[in-house]
Structure 1
Amino acid sequence: MQRRRAVSRKQNRRVHALITLIFCIAVFILVCAGCFLLVKTDGTITNKPNQSQGDSSSAAPDGADSTTDGDSQQEQPTMTEEEQRIADATATASANCTKDAPQVVDPALWDERGKALMEQLAADEFYQSEGLKYSAKDGCPYMIAVNRAASTVTVLALDDEGNYTKPYMAMVCSGGADTPLGFFATPVNYDWRLLAGPSYGQYATRIWDSYLFHTVPYYSQHKDDIEYDQFNQLGTQASLGCIRLLVCDVKWIYDNCPIGTRVVIYDNADDPGPMGKPGTIYTDPTDESKRGWDPTDPDSANPWDAAFRSGTAIRSEAAWNEWNDAQNDGRWNGSINPTDLQGWSTDSSVEGTRG
C-alpha cells in the first residue's frame, strides 16, 4: 500500500513538472511572438502610432507593409517652383564650399535683376559723370560689375537688346577700403604680377592705375606659397585696394575678358548682386601639405582634390556648359602658368601677411 502511494506521488510530481514545462514553453512562445510583432526586420523597435487618436496618416493602405524604414509616414511639405529653383542652384554652388555657404537668388529673377542693376547705375549721377556705358562693345563678350561692399563680382553677358545686363556668373572676391568706385576699361594683363609687400599674384588683369584683379597674394612667385591666412579672408574686405579672386575665377577673366573689357565698381552692402554671393573654401593653416595652394589652381601638381577646380562661382546654365566644354577640349590649358614650386609654404606666424 505504501509502495503504491509512493509510486502515485512520483507520478504526480512528473505530471506537475510536465505541466510546468508546457506552461513555460507556452509563455516563451507568446513572448517571442509579441517581440516579433514589435521588432522590424532591420532590428529597430517600431513604436506604432495609436490609430484611435485620429492620425489617419499612420494607417497603412491595403496590401502595404505597415512598418517603415524609420522615417515618418507623414508627407513632407512640397517645395514651390521658386524654392525648388533656389535649392537646385544652391546645391550646385555649394559643392566646394567648406567655409561660407552661398547666398543664391532665384535664377528666374537673374535677368530681371541684372537689367535693373545696370539701369540703376546708369541713372546715378556719379556713374553718369564717369561715362558709364553698358551697350555692346566690339570684341568684348562680357562686362564686369564689382560690388565692393558685398565682396561679389558679377559677370554680365549681352542680352537680346545688345546690352550687358544678362548675369553669366558670380564670383566671391575681396576688395578694400581703397578700392576705387567708378567705370573703367581693362588696359593690360599678366600671368604673374609683383604686388605690394612685396608679394605676387597670378593671372592679374589691371582695372585702372595700380588696381588689379588678381589671386590671393603669394609670399613668393611659387604656386605652393599662397598667403593662406589671407585666403581664408576671401569674401571680406581684406585687400589694399585690388580685387582678389580664386585662381579659377581670376584665370577665367584672364582667359575670357579681352583687354578693353568694361568694369564698373559700385557699393551695395544689402544686395550682393543679381545672382547672389558665392561661398568660400577653407584652408587649414596646420595642413602643411595643402595650405600653400589655392584649391582651385588647375595645375596638375595641386594636392587638392580636382573637384575643387571649378571653385565656388554661381554659374548660369550657359556658364556651366562653357566650363564643362573647356574641361573636355582644354581651351584654357595653354595659359596655365608653368609648375615652379618652392616645395614648402611660408609660415605666416613668422612672416606675417601682406598684399
Structure 2
Amino acid sequence: MKKVILSVTNDLVTDSRVHKVALSLKKMNFKVVLVGRKLPGSSKLKRRPYKTRRLKLFFRKGPLFYAEYNIRLFWFLRLRKADVFLANDLDTLPANFLVSKLKGKPLVYDSHELFTEVPELLNRPTKKALWRSIERLILPKIAKAYTVSESIANLYRKKYGTPFRVIRNLPHREKLLMVPPEKYLPSDERKLILYQGALNIGRGLEYAIKAMQYVDGARLLIAGNGDITLPLKKLVADLALADRVSFMAKIPLEELKYVTAQADLGLSIEEDLGLNYRYALPNKLFDYIQQQVPVLVSNLPEMKSIVEQYQIGMILEKHDPKIMGKQLQEALFNRDLREQWIENLPLAAQDLCWEHEEKILEDIFRDLR
C-alpha cells in the first residue's frame, strides 16, 4: 500500500477540503497521513480513519511562522517514508517541493485559492513579491495540480503552463438533516441568517452586521473564528445589536452541518478585493446548498453562475447595509421566491456533491497508486 502525506498550515479542525481528499485517497487504497499545526486554542481532534499529526510551533503568524513551519515540515517529510506528497496551498509548497526532489517522489499540488491575491497581501508589496517569486519558481515545474474554480485554473494555466484541473470544494451528498432546533440553537420564532467560515478581511461581515439594523423578524448567526473576530464583536456592541447578531466559536466539521441545516438563509458575501475573492467558490456556499438552504451571494462570477444556473437564491446588488438589509428581508419573507428556491435546491444538492469531484481526484492519482 502506497503512502501519501498531505500537509496544511491550519490545525485540521475545520478544514473540510483536506478531510474529504484524505478520505478519498484512503478509499483509493493509499495509506494517508495529514500534517498540520497545533495552536494554543486548538480543540482535540476526533478520531479519523487516517493518521494525523499537528506540529507545535514557536511562531504563530507572519514571515517567521511560514519560515519555521516550512523548516519543520521539511524535516518531518524528509525523515519519513512516503510515495507521494500532496501540498495544500502555496504556504506548504516550498518544503514539499524540496523533499519531493530530494527523494525523487511525485508531488501533487492543491491550490485552495489564488494565494498571492488574498486581501491580506493587497497592501503588502514586499510580502506579495516574495510569495509570487516562490510561485513563479515552483509552479512551472509541477506536473499534477488542481484548484477550486475554473477561473483560477485558467489563470494558472496561462501564467505558468501548469496543467491545473478543477476540483470544487463540494460536500458529500447527504440526506436532508431534520434537527430539533433546540438541540443546537436557541429556539425562537425569528428567521435565521447564517454565515459560516473564517472571519477574515473581505468576507462582507461588517456590512451584514450593519444590515441587521434594517431587518425585522430575523437574527444573524456567525459561526467561525478569525483575524477580525474581536472587531466584529465590538461592532455588534457599538450598534447595540446583541439581540440580532450572535457568535458561535469554531465548530468541528462533524457538528457544523447540524447548525447549517437550521438556517433559513446562508450568506457568502465576499467583497471584490482582488482576484482571489473575485474567482472564489467558497465551500460554505455548497454546504448551504447540500442542506437545501437558500443563499445570498456576492455578484462575483463563479458564485453568481452557480446561483443563477440552479435558481436557488439571490445575488447581492451592493455591499451597502441598507441595500443588503432590504435584500435580506425579501430573501427571508418573499414567499413566492422562497418556494421557487426550495423547489430547486434538491436538484442542486444532488449535482453539487463531492462524489462527482472525487472522480477527478481519482484520475489525477490513478498512475501514482
TM over 0.5: no
TM-score normalised by structure 2 residue count:
0.20
Higher relative contact order (CA 8 A, sep 6+): 1
TM-score normalised by structure 1 residue count:
0.20
